[in-house]
Structure 1
Amino acid sequence: MVTVQIDNTAVIDPAQLADIEKFERMLVRYKAGEIPEDVMRVFRLNNGVYGQRQGGTRQMVRVKIPAGIIQPEHFEAMGHIARTYSRGWGHITTRQNIQFHYVELDDIPEVMRTLASVGLTTREACGDTVRNVQGCHLAGACPHEVLDITAWARATALHFLRHPYAQRLPRKFKINFSGCATDCGQAMFNDVGIVAATREVPGGTEAGFRVYVAGGLGANPHPALALEEFTAREDLLPTIEACLRVFDHDGYRENKLRARMKWLVEKLGFEELQRRIFRERRFLLASSSWPGGIPELVTLHGDAPAGRHAEVAATPVGQGVNLSPLGHQSNAQSNGQTNYQSNGHGDSQSNGQGHSNHQANGHGNSQGNGTAMPVSIGGRAPYGRWQQANVVRGVAKGTVSAYAWARLGDITADQFDALAAIQRELGAECRVTNRQNIVFRDLEEHQLPRLFEALSAIDMGQPGAELLRDVVACPGADTCNLAVTQSRGLADAIGDRLEEEGLTEVGGLRINISGCTNSCGQHHAADIGFFGAERRAHGRSAPGYQMLLGGYVGDTQIHFGTKALRLPARNAPEAVVRVVRRFTAERAPGEEFRQWLERAGGPRAVGKGLADLDEFPTPEAGPEFYVDYDEAGPYEAVVGDSECAT
């Protein structure tokens, strides 16, 4: 692989340059003992630099990718950072960031300069700030969207970057955008979640938004609640800023464990929270930061929806291609063969000739007409399997999109460089997904074989990105101070076990893992979720997990997974295999996981069928049960100071 040279003479935005120079000054003062540790910690976090459990001067650096939009020069800069300053690879997060670990504190300014040279920043990627603004990665390429939310998400990110109110909030503040009710952007568990919507007006319909507030995961998950029935386009940014200001004024500052916006619902009651937000919005016109009207980026780039391919729009429901409002599919027929493949929650596509596919990477399990049928895609040639599982069609202009799979969300330096070359060669747009993959967009049909060939050459062309193979995990005890288990190691073990059983390409199921209760791996919102916990057995500490079943987000609804049983870490892969086997064997035609789960008696009933797995052998009989994945020595639950709640 040819190493890409980074242009260090590129013109850097003055605001970013000021950030970097300030970081350098603060670092000199900190090393001289002039700045206390706690003050430097807050400063680091606001600049996207997070301490690791290893301590010392090694840091995690988080790069914001607003709306997931990533360019070839971004890939190249990240390849350079991974190769030069980190451990040879970067990690995609569930919030469309890319982060690098084991970066020396003294190297941070140069990392920032490299990123700034291509227009990227770490500013406010961590800390008590407005974090990276997410958006559906198929925005502008989705046949269901009401509005293309791309420019809206970018405008929101720019408005709050360095915003005075966004620098020292009670806690972090997360904003997500979805273009339709499928909710691929996962609005329903964020501080502010925005979903494009319509309302009836004289003479037709008006496109705008429905704003949801006070959602969150963590140890105490809370569903987002609709602020009002409809928010006009010109009122959207003032509404978001009003939410932020109320959070700043009324959020808990003395108790960080109760400092997220979701706790304001308990503190104030939802009606009072609404009243304060509306009051703030009403008088925001008097503020110097009033962002009312249509943002310039939206005016420049537009927000018209992609629209459906003509053939999709003309197909009667129940015949041929039948795309539900949630991106699920009917068991449609084409040329006498079933041609639809469910890719899980909100993911669907068609292999019929000339028909359109849609794959939406939300967790939206359609309740719809009950005809969606997740199936396996095995038994085809590699390219056919990849095309069926990873390719998305449905844009009015006739282009297609395709996923590149990143195992555990990791991308090596060489892969970063190769992705840049592929993107340039195909003239594609790329976006980071919230399931830790990359999607290539604006492709043409004839480019798909070449894309598959190029991705396969760098081990990113496996079929089933977004299917069961696509296990999502937080960094866990590999680097995080709060984690008590190696969630990445478990994700790998589950993937290997599913491969052994031929189950990796089953659709309609999502697996998410967190190394603690805080749900950075979003375990609450997955069909099968795990969070790490210390267990005691035979007088010894051992790594364990709580298994949850039935999580769901989509159709502007959210249901959090319910506890099924506790397990030794070593038995969790077998538990997954058993649940998946039972689901695929027992489901009725068109039945989704949550429907089957209810029919099977619910999570606890299914968990009882796995009770034999909740047993620890003695340390002599099963020493591996007392050693966590990716570890060599005896398990010990070590939790450091949380920088998440600083």
Structure 2
Amino acid sequence: MVTVQIDNTAVIDPAQQADIDKFERMLARYKAGEIPEDVMRVFRLNNGVYGQRQGGTNQMVRVKIPAGIAHPEHFEALAHIARTYSRGWGHITTRQNIQFHYVQIDDVPDVMRVLASVGLTTREACGDTVRNVQGCHLAGACPHEVLDITAWARATALHFLRHPYAQRLPRKFKINFSGCATDCGQAMFNDVGIIAATREVDGGVEAGFRVFVAGGLGANPHPALALEDFTSREDLLPTIEACLRVFDHDGYRDNKLRARMKWLVEKLGFEELQRRIFRERKFLLASSSWPGGIPDLVKIHGDAPAGRHASVEATPVGQGVELGSRRNPDNGRSTPVSIGSRAPHDKWEKANVVRGAAKGTVSAYAWARLGDITADQFDSLADIQRELGAECRVTNRQNIVFRDLSEHQLPRLFESLSAIGMAEAGAELLRDVVACPGADTCNLAVTQSRGLADAIGNRLDEEGLAEVGGLRINISGCTNSCGQHHASDIGFFGAERRAHGRSAPGYQMLLGGYVGDSQIHFGTKALRLPARNAPEAVVRVVRQFTAEREAGEEFRHWLERKGGSREVGKTLADLDEFPLPDDGPEFFVDYDETGPYEAVIGDSECAT
């Protein structure tokens, strides 16, 4: 493959150039001993540079991809960074960022320049800031959307980038957009989640939004709550800024463990929180940063929904269709995908292709194993995107979706993705296990969550269960839910276990998490078990579900019928056993490790 050269003469936005220049100055002063460690830590976090477990000069650099929108030049820049400054690959996060690990601190300004040359930034990707603004990756291509939220998410990201109120918040602040109640953008567990909605006005229908606030995961998950019944398009950005300002004014600053917006509900009560947000919004007109009215980006690009193709039936209110998990767009019910012995292309098309938009285009997923994309794959994605004239977006399940395709382009896309190992059937289905970075690089993780994700995917493949639809598996290496284990059908979080006088890697298994239909249910505990037995536990649960489910029955409803997580957990009780170390030495070694397990927790920069 020919390596694409990055254009070093590209014009860089003055604001980004100022960020780079300041980073260089601050880094020089820090190395000279003029800036204390704690001050430098906050500064680099606000610039998307995060310390990792290995310490020293090793850094993780996080790149924001607002609404997940990626262009060929973005992929090429990411390829260059992976190849030149990291370990040969980048990692997609559950918030549509791209992370690079083992970047040396002295190289960060050069990385920033490469990104700035294509309009990307690390600014406010970490720290107590407004983080990357997410959007449903099928926005503008989904037959069930009320509005195409693409331009809204972009406008929100631009409004808060370098915004004075977005720099030193009590804690991080996350904003998500979804185009319909299905909530593929996962608005229901964020500080501010926006879902496109309608209301009847004077005999007509007005499109706008429902704004949900104070959601969050972490060790203490909290569902987002509806701020009001309906928010007009003109009022949306002022409403979001009002939420941010109230959080800045009233959020805990002396206790980082209780500093997220969800804790304001406990501190103030929800009615008082609402009152303060509405009051802030009312008088925001007097502010120099008032963002009222329809944003220019929305005026230019529009927000009209994709519309339904004639073959797609309307979906009743409250029965959203989550295309990302292959809920059948004809009936809105979660349906298992049957793969059988079809040819690889047929398997891929059945499992990875989404149809149904009125304009007749199709979308197709490219599978990124464990959310990782190599430098060569990044370059190839750029080539494929240019050749097909497609639009690409990063998904919140760590894949890439190609959009605006025609039917006749699908064979060529499959051929191209196959050549780079990204055409696995079942992207975003059961085999597509989501995991945080875990103990590979994170200071808080106690287990190798990525290794477990790989083991579960392989075990599902062996059992012929990898392409089951309507089920999702998420893994975190600790209780903090960076892998979003609370919100998945089957979730795991890492925990140290003690057996036969020795430490061993273990997990808590949760069942029944769900996000959709403008609601969220957090998974509940089923049982604890050794890390090595977690793949078998998944296989048993999935096998039982597929054998016993009623027509169109979702996992959470089957779980309720079986008596809940604890009852299903009882059927797995034999898996919560550790053999003697001599009989099963692998039980005392974590995935992707070679030596005895040891739970090592360092100082976290998550709460800095």
Interval containing the TM-score (normalised by the shorter chain): over 0.9
Name the aligned partner's letter for residue 585 of structure 1: A
Give the C-alpha shift of residue 632 in structure 1. Answer: 1.0
* Rounded Cα–Cα distance in structure 1 between residues aligned with 2:489 and 2:242: 34
**Offset of 1:316 from its aligned partner?**
8.1
> What residue number does 1:505 align with?
467
State the distance in 2 between where 1:576 and 1:88 align: 31
Could you tell me how far apart the structure 2 residues matched to 1:586 and 1:229 are? 39
Cross-structure match for 1:34: 34
Query: C-alpha distance in 2, partners of 1:378/1:285?
Result: 60
Deviation at 1:323, TM superposition (A): 11
Partner AA of 1:148 in structure 2: D
User: Which of 589, 605, 608 matches 1:643?
Assistant: 605
Q: Does 1:4 align with 2:32?
A: no
| Contact residue 184 and residue 324 of structure 2 kept, 8 A | no
2:128 and 2:314 map into 1 onto residues whose CA distance is 50
Alignment correspondent of 2:15: 15
Distance 1:415 1:372 in 2: 32
Q: Deviations over 1:449-477 (max 9, x none)?
A: 00000001100001100111100000000
* Matched residue SS, 1:81: helix
> What CA distance in whole angstroms lies between the structure 1 residues aligned with 2:345 and 2:241?
47
Alpha carbons of structure 1 residues 325 and 609: separation in structure 2 relative to 1, 3 Å:
closer
Distance verdict in 2 for CA 1:229–1:525, change over 3 Å: same
Aligned pairs for 1:95-106 (under 5 A) are 95-106=95-106
Counterparts of 2:130 and 2:334 in 1: how far apart (Å)?
A: 37
| Secondary structure at 1:198 match in 2 | strand
Note the 1:146-545 alignment, pairs <5 A.
146-312=146-312, 325-327=319-321, 344=325, 347-349=326-328, 372-545=334-507
- Where 2:33 maps in the other structure, the secondary structure is coil
Deviations 1:564-612 (A, max 9, x none): 0001001100100111111111112221111111111111001001001
Q: CA deviation at 1:396?
A: 1.3
Shift of the alpha carbon at 1:60?
0.2
What CA distance in whole angstroms lies between the structure 2 residues aligned with 1:223 and 1:594? 17
In structure 1, C-alpha distance between the alignment counterparts of 2:398 and 2:442, rounded to whole Å = 18
Question: For each residue in 1:524-553, what CA deviation from the matched residue of structure 2 results, as whole angstroms up to 9, or x when unmatched?
Answer: 000000000001111111100000000000
Q: Distance in 2 between matches of 1:120 and 1:394?
A: 31
Q: Which residue of structure 2 lines up, in the alignment, with residue 548 of structure 1? A: 510
SS of 2:102's equivalent in the other structure is strand
Contact 1:343/1:374, CA 8 A, preserved across alignment: no
CA contact (8 A) 2:336 2:467 kept: no
C-alpha displacement of 1:279 = 0.4
Distance 1:182 1:591 in 2: 17
Runs (5+) with no aligned partner, structure 1: 329-341, 350-356, 359-365
Change (3 A) 1:107 1:594: same
For residues 450 and 528 of structure 2, the distance between their equivalents in structure 1, rounded to whole angstroms, comes to: 18
- Matched residue type, 2:28: V
Deviations 1:352-375 (CA, angstroms, capped at 9, x unpaired): xxxxx68xxxxxxx9x7xx54324
2:581/2:588 contact within 8 Å kept: yes
Any idea what SS the aligned residue of 1:434 has? coil
- 1:262, distance to aligned residue in structure 2 (A): 0.1
CA contact (8 A) 2:216 2:223 kept: yes
| Per-residue deviation, 1:203 | 3.2
- Per the alignment, do residues 111 and 144 of structure 1 end up closer, same or farther by CA in structure 2, a change over 3 Å counting? same
Q: Structure 1 residues 124-133 or 632-641, which shifts more?
A: 632-641
Post-superposition CA distance 1:316-343 (Å, at most 9, x none): 88xxxx9994116xxxxxxxxxxxxx87
- Give CA deviations for 1:283-306 in whole Å, capped at 9, x if unaligned: 000100000000010001000111
CA-to-partner distance for each residue in 1:235-291, whole Å, 9 max, x for gaps?
Answer: 000000000000000000000000000000000000000000000000000100000
1:143-163 superposed Cα distances (whole Å, 9 cap, x missing partner) = 111110000000000000000
Please tell me whether the aligned partners of residues 176 and 192 of structure 1 are also in contact (alpha carbons under 8 angstroms): yes
Aligned residue pairs total: 608
TM-score using structure 1 length? 0.93
Q: Say if 2:496 and 2:599, in contact at 8 Å, map to a contact too.
A: yes
Amino acid at match of 2:479: T
Deviations 1:460-496 (A, max 9, x none): 0011001111000000000001100000000011111
Partner of 1:338: none
1 CA distance for matches of 2:264 and 2:149? Answer: 28
Give the residue type in structure 2 aligned to 1:624.
Answer: E
The equivalent residue for 1:620 is 582
Q: 8 Å contact 1:376–1:503 — kept in the other structure?
A: no
- Whole-Å separation in 2 of the counterparts to 1:374 and 1:482: 36
Q: Structure 2 residue aligned with 1:566, among 528, 532, 550?
A: 528
- Counterpart CA distance in 1 for 2:561 and 2:607 is 40
CA contact (8 A) 2:334 2:469 kept: no
Identity %: 87
| Alignment TM-score, normalising by the size of structure 2 | 0.98
Over the aligned positions, Cα root-mean-square deviation in angstroms equals: 1.4
The answer on whether the counterparts of 1:171 and 1:256 sit within 8 Å (CA) in structure 2 is yes
* Inter-CA distance 343–79: structure 2 relative to 1 (3 Å threshold): closer
Shift of 1:507: 1.1
Q: Cα 1:56–1:588, aligned 2, differ >3 Å: closer, same or farther?
A: same
Shift of 1:348: 3.1
Name the CA distance, whole Å, in 2 between partners of 1:605 and 1:525. Answer: 20
Secondary structure class of the residue paired with 2:90: strand
Aligned-pair CA distance for 1:620: 1.3
Q: Answer yes or no: is the 8 Å Cα contact 1:59–1:101 preserved in 2.
A: yes
Change (3 A) 1:316 1:523: closer
CA contact (8 A) 2:337 2:351 kept: no
User: How far apart, CA to CA, are the structure 1 residues paired with 2:350 and 2:324?
Assistant: 10
Q: Which amino acid aligns with 1:327?
A: V
1:82–1:88 Cα contact (<8 Å) kept: yes
- Report the Cα distance in structure 1 between the residues aligned to 2:529 and 2:337, rounded to whole angstroms: 28
Distance 1:316 1:501 in 2: 36
SS of alignment partner, residue 360 of structure 2: coil
Distance across 1 between alignment mates of 2:536 and 2:251: 43
Unaligned runs of 5+ in 2: none
- CA gap of 1:537–1:124, structure 2 versus 1, over 3 A, is same
User: Secondary structure of the equivalent of 2:115?
Assistant: helix
**Deviation of the 1:436 alpha carbon:** 0.2
Give the CA deviation at 1:395: 1.4
**Counterpart of 2:496 in 1: which secondary structure?**
strand
Aligned residue identity for 1:273: L
Give the Cα–Cα distance (whole angstroms) in 1 for the partners of residues 456 and 103 of structure 2. 29
CA apart distance, 1:377? 2.2
Q: Which of 530, 538, 541 is the aligned partner of 1:576? A: 538
Contact 1:251/1:260, CA 8 A, preserved across alignment: yes
- Checking the alignment, whether the CA contact within 8 Å between 1:165 and 1:244 is kept in structure 2 is yes
Counterparts in 2 of 1:126 and 1:343: CA distance versus 1, 3 Å: closer
Counterpart AA for 1:166: A
Deviation at 1:379, TM superposition (A): 2.3
CA contact (8 A) 1:477 1:486 kept: yes
Contact kept? 2:143, 2:306, Cα under 8 Å: yes
Structure 1 distance, partners of 2:317, 2:309, is 12
